[in-house]
Amino acid sequence: MTMFNSDNIYPGVKVTPEEFAQKCDLKIFFNAGKEIELHSMIVNRPGLMLAGYKNDFAEKRVQLMGKTEIGFLQDNDKYIEAFFAKNIPCVVLSRGFLPSPKMKEMAEKYQKTIFLSHKDTLVLIEEITNYLNDLMSPTEAVHGVLMDIYGTGVLLLGKSSIGKSETALELVYRGHRLVADDSVILRRINDRVYGSSPEIIKNLMEIRGVGIIDIKAIYGAGSVIDRKRVELIIELEKWDENKEYERVGKVAKYQTILGIEIPKLVIPVDAGRNLAVVIEVASRDFRLKQSGYSPYSVVHSRMQEDK
């Protein structure tokens, strides 16, 4: 598992120029013929470096040149060799600009791949950053179901055969969206945890007695979503008469995933309980508490008034 460092530098992840171009919707202008080694999720605009200021240059980042950098280089490419001599992963040019002859010469000399795009610089920064986040973020796979319920990302956990998939199916039927069933890939991005499905089982759900079903094909495109932030964890467990379950919502519980504490509820499963409705209510109640409303505080205040 990849761990965070304070300077945003990570252990190297290598990708081919072809893969990088495909994932970021780029065109390869010059292919250095070697893998690109990525160490940072941040995209850098090297304006100061190209103007001669070499201190604190973020050479581990993908280098993106927009209108400002290209416009400067049209009249002055004095420092272009010093730029390409750095240990940069690659160079991306936005807005349909082409490298100058000097840039092409230095890319060939120092074996740095150059990519092109017609997209706006800010759009490219966002798209490449999203790709780098997905590629390099700390990840963890868990056995569970991730749902989007009233806009809240709810991760359902529990032992096998407890009823997670059946409950999720009922929730989809009631209009909520499935992210992943059985296996959930969790990623930590900007101090938040996001979940998605492994590609091989995307949009699919296993229902015992029925088999594998395609949620998107049955319920339509609006019944699934590719990724969702995990905001609430609900663990389902068999009802234990000897266990004391939360009854007033006074004590908050959390579970740590990838170093982030996420609110957690434990819901007992017993015959006759409509778990889908209970989970819907739990999601709505979570949203209310996020806005500052606490039913426990209301009850406590009323009890004080009655004294």
117 and 21 both lie in a single domain: yes
307 and 301 in contact (C-beta within 8 Å)? no
> Does 265 reside within a domain?
yes
What residue numbers bound the domain in which 32 lies?
13-135
Q: Which of 135, 156, 182 is the last residue of a domain?
A: 135
185 and 46 both lie in a single domain: no
Query: How is residue 53 written in tokens?
Result: 């200021």
Report the percentage of the chain scoring pLDDT > 70: 90
How many domains does the structure of the chain reveal? Answer: 2
Identify which of 47-51, 91-95, 238-242, 265-269 has the greatest average pLDDT.
91-95
1 and 140 in contact (C-beta within 8 Å)? yes
Mean of the per-residue pLDDT values of the chain: 89
Q: Which residues are catalytic?
A: 143, 164, 182, 247
Residue 237, beta-bridge partner list: 268
- Residue 142, Cβ density class (10 Å: 0-12 exposed, 13-18 middle, ≥19 buried): middle
Query: How is residue 41 written in tokens?
Result: 């999720």
Give the span between the Cα atoms of 134 and 270, in whole angstroms: 39
Query: How is residue 109 written in tokens?
Result: 């000399």
142 and 290 both lie in a single domain: yes
254 and 176 both lie in a single domain: yes
150 and 268 both lie in a single domain: yes
Q: Which of 117, 135, 153 is the last residue of a domain?
A: 135
Tell me, rounded to whole angstroms, the distance of Cα 226 from its chain centroid. Answer: 10
> Does 306 reside within a domain?
no
pLDDT digits (tens, 9 = 90+) for 82-121: 899 999 999 999 999 999 899 999 999 999 999 999 999 9
Query: How is residue 106 written in tokens?
Result: 């230095």
pLDDT digits (tens, 9 = 90+) for 55-65: 788 999 999 99
Task: Give me the pLDDT at residue 3, please.
Answer: 40
Task: Give me the pLDDT at residue 186, please.
Answer: 96
pLDDT digits (tens, 9 = 90+) for 174-209: 999 999 999 999 999 888 999 999 999 999 999 989
pLDDT digits (tens, 9 = 90+) for 31-69: 999 999 999 999 999 988 777 777 788 999 999 999 888
